[in-house]
A and B are shown apart, each in its own frame.
Chain A
Amino acid sequence: MKRSLLYGAIAAVIVVAVAVAFVVPNLFVQRRPAPQEIVVGAVLPLSGRLSEIGIYYKLGYELYISEVNKNGGVYVKEFDKRIPIRLVVYDDESDPTKSATQLERLITVEKVHLILGGYSTPLVQAQAPVAERYKMPYITAGLITSGVHLTEDGKRRYQYLFGLLSSIKNLALTTIEMLKQEIDAGRLPKPLKIATVNENTDHGREYLAGLKEGARKYPGYFEIVYEAFYNIGEKDFTPILTAIKQSGANAMLNDMRLGDYITMHRQYTTLGLCHLVVSYGPRGPEGIAIKELGTAAENVFGGQWWSPADPRPEVQEFNRKWEAWVRERNLDLPPEFYGALAYEAARTLVWAIEKAGSIDPDAVWKALRTLDSPENGLKPSIVIGGVIYFPEETGGQINNPILLAQVQDGKPVIVYPKESATGTFRVNKC
Chain B
Amino acid sequence: MQLIDVTFLFISSLLTAGLYALSSYSITLVYGVLKIVDVSQGALITLGAYIAYTLKTLFDIDPVVTSLIAAPAFFAYGYFGHYEIAKRVLEKYSGGRVLENSLLLFFGVLLALTGVTYLVWKGDIKAVNTAYTLAAVELFGLRIYLTRIVIFLYAIVVTALMIYLLNRTYTGTAIRAVSQDLESSLACGIEVEKMFRTSFGIACALSSAAGSILTLALAFSPIIGIEFILIAIVVTVVGGLGNFTGAFLGALIFAVVDSLGVLIVGPAYAKVVALAMMVVVLVVRPQGLFGERGRV
Contacts and interface: CB of A to CB of B under 8 A. Distances in A.
Given A246-B5, A263-B218, A288-B125, A230 B268 contact: yes
Contacts of A71: none
A267 B145 contact: yes
A272 B268 contact: no
B271 interface: yes
Nearest to B263: A239
B50 interface: no
B258 A236 contact: yes
Secondary structure dominating the interface of B: mixed
A271 B12 CA distance: 11
Interface string A393-407: 000000000000000
Contacts of A179: none
A236 B151 CA distance: 13
B125 A296 contact: no
B136 A270 contact: yes
Interface residues of B, number: 47
A420 to B, nearest CB: 26
Given A246-B1, A288-B127, A270 B135 contact: yes
B5 A242 contact: yes
A229 B268 contact: yes
A424 interface: no
Contacts, number: 115
A118 to B, nearest CB: 16
Contacts of A87: none
Nearest to B5: A242
Interface residues of A, number: 42
Given A238-B13, A240-B262, A294-B129, A200 B143 contact: no
Given A270-B145, A288-B124, A294-B129, A235 B267 contact: no
Interface in A31-62: 48-52
A259 interface: yes
A378 to B, nearest CB: 33
Nearest to A296: B134
A246 B2 CA distance: 9
A200 B262 CA distance: 14
A271 B263 contact: no
Contact of A236 (B13, B122, B223): B13
B9 A238 contact: yes
Interface string B217-234: 111111110010001000
25 contacts: A48-B118, A52-B123, A228-B266, A228-B267, A229-B267, A230-B267, A233-B223, A235-B16, A235-B231, A236-B255, A238-B13, A238-B259, A243-B263, A246-B1, A259-B125, A262-B219, A263-B219, A267-B145, A270-B145, A270-B147, A272-B136, A292-B128, A292-B129, A293-B129, A294-B134
Given A49-B123, A292-B219, 14 more contacts: A48-B123, A49-B118, A52-B122, A236-B255, A236-B258, A238-B8, A239-B270, A259-B218, A259-B220, A263-B218, A271-B136, A288-B125, A288-B126, A294-B134
